[in-house]
Every structure is written in C-alpha cells, then in structure tokens.
C-alpha cells in the first residue's frame, strides 16, 4: 500500500476582510481571481464583525493561522491596539486597512493611500511632487490619501470639509505626522476650485450607489484646463463628478483604480509574489457590471 501513497496538501491559506457592514465589499472577487491566476491554494473570506467583537475576531485570525486580513469600516483605527506592530506609514496615517503575518506577528499596514498614489502615477501619469491638491472630506480615505501625497512631495494640501472640528483635527494630525503644508477650508457653500489647483480628489462617499445622482457641491468653472479630477467612489465608476469634469474636457481618474491597486499591494504583501493586475481589474469590472 505504501507505494500508492501520495503526499497531498489540502490546506488552503486564509486571508479575508473584517467589517460591518461588509456584504457588498467586492475585494474578495479580485483576490480570489488573483489566487486562481497564480495557482495559489488561498481563500479570501468576507466576514461581518461587530465592533464589540473585533478583539475576539483578531484572536480568531491568530488561532486560524490566517496569512492576513483587510479591515474596513468601522475597524481601521480600533484594530491597531490588537496588533504586534504597525508599519511606519500606517502610524503616520493613524489607521490600518491591511494586516500581514510574519511568523507569529501581525503587522498593520495601510494600502489605501498607496493604492491611490499608484493609480495616479500609473493610470493618470500624474506626479504629485510640487503640486497643489484639494481633497474633499476628512474621513479615513482623505487621511490616507493626504498622508501619502504629503510623503510624495505635494507642495500644498487643502482639506475641504463640512464639519470644522473633524477637518481641523485631521489637518493638524497630518501636519504633525508629515510636516506637510496642509490647511483646512470650511465647506459651507459651493466650493469653487481655484485655477492654481492641480489635483482635485473626492474622498467622500458622495455619489456612491444607490445615491448615484448625488455630486459633491463643487464648481469647476475656474479650474485650469489640465486639472486632474479623481473620485474614490468606485460604484458607479463614472460618478456625476467625473462626468461633469469630462464634460469640461478635464482629465479624470475613477475609484476603480485605487481599489485595484490597494488590492494589488495587499496581494503582494501577503504572498510575496507579483500580483496579476490585469486579472484583478477584469474580475472587479465583471463583478460590478462594468464593460
């Protein structure tokens, strides 16, 4: 009988995402496609975790020997206290959206801003060094994006936000952590984008499905002809803001770019392999019904 024995490993390596809500998070679609394309026996689990259960969930990550996880709302800040180490850039951002395992250690990373930055450089061919940037919003996405743009050498960052306290707190924190030239602008009425701005980023959820007819209250009439307009919203891919920008002949970058590249970076952190970017993007487009 011994000559018929074959050594087979049926154990799949596990990664996943923890969030609440999380059912509509499409990250698993592109990661599973990447695992298939690279021949890896890995699985991506989409797991709903209530805020009060996060500590137990991280214990589960350790107990299951999971190779890594993503964090989404509302866990990106709270999770930091349960990890063994936080990467320097994630420390600067003050939030973690990706965890990787090294031995028995769980290390917190943030790929949101890096994904946005890679999209700027690769898809839009835009170098933020020395540029003036306006970011709409002061939430987690705005914090990650502004931090990475500051570290990439942006000349000036302007944070436009409705809530004064939140906007000022974020500005002060990013300035302290990065030394950036960053300031807060109250968003009390229509924000008119000035002609000296090189990059406009909607880092709010305005325009996200099902509110597809909503648009940030901005005016692009004074914008310079080559102002790059970006949106972190990926569903729909063409938001009203991007449509308005294109109607004025302005270059744009959609939210699918950031979503794909943060996933690409996560794949590479977990597996140590080059990610199949085209496969991941195609899988997301199919899942979201984008042609």
Q: Which of 11, 76, 164, 224 is catalytic?
A: 76
Distance CA 233, CA 27 (A): 14
Distances in Å between the Cα of 150 and the Cα atoms of 50, 114, 143, 157 are 33, 12, 11, 8
Residue 288's nearest CA partner among 235, 240, 233, 238 is: 235
Distance CA 227, CA 267 (A): 32
Structure tokens at 163: 């809530």
Residues in the chain: 291
In the chain, where does DSSP find H-type helix?
27-38, 54-63, 88-93, 112-122, 140-151, 164-178, 240-247, 255-271, 277-287
Instruction: Indicate if 59 belongs to the active site.
Output: no
Which residues carry out catalysis? Answer: 76
């Amino acid at each position: 009988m011994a000559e018929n024995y074959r050594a087979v490993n049926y154990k799949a390596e596990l990664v996943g995402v923890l969030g609440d809500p999380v059912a509509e998070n499409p990250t698993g679609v592109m990661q599973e496609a990447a695992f298939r394309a690279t021949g890896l026996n890995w699985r991506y689990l989409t797991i709903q975790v209530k805020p009060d259960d996060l500590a137990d969930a991280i214990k589960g990550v350790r107990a299951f020997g999971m190779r890594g996880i993503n964090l989404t709302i509302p866990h990106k800040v709270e999770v930091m206290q349960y990890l063994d180490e936080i990467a320097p850039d994630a420390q600067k951002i003050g939030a973690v959206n990706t965890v990787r395992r090294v031995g028995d250690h769980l290390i917190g990373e943030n790929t949101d801003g890096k994904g946005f930055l890679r999209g700027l450089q690769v898809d839009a061919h835009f170098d933020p060094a020395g540029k003036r940037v306006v970011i709409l919003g002061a939430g987690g996405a705005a914090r990650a994006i502004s931090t990475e743009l500051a570290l990439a050498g942006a000349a000036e960052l302007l944070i436009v936000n409705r809530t004064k306290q939140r906007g000022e707190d974020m500005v002060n924190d990013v300035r302290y952590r990065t030394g950036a030239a960053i300031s807060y602008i109250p968003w009390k009425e229509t924000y008119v984008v000035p002609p000296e701005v090189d990059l406009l980023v909607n880092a709010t959820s305005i325009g996200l499905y099902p509110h597809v007819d909503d648009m940030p209250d901005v005016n692009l009439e004074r914008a310079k002809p080559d102002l790059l307009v970006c949106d972190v919203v990926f569903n729909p891919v063409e938001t009203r803001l991007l449509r308005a920008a294109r109607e004025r002949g302005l270059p744009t970058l959609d939210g699918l770019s950031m979503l794909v590249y943060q996933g690409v970076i996560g794949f590479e952190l977990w597996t140590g392999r080059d990610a199949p970017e085209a496969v991941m993007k195609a899988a997301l487009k199919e899942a979201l019904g984008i042609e």
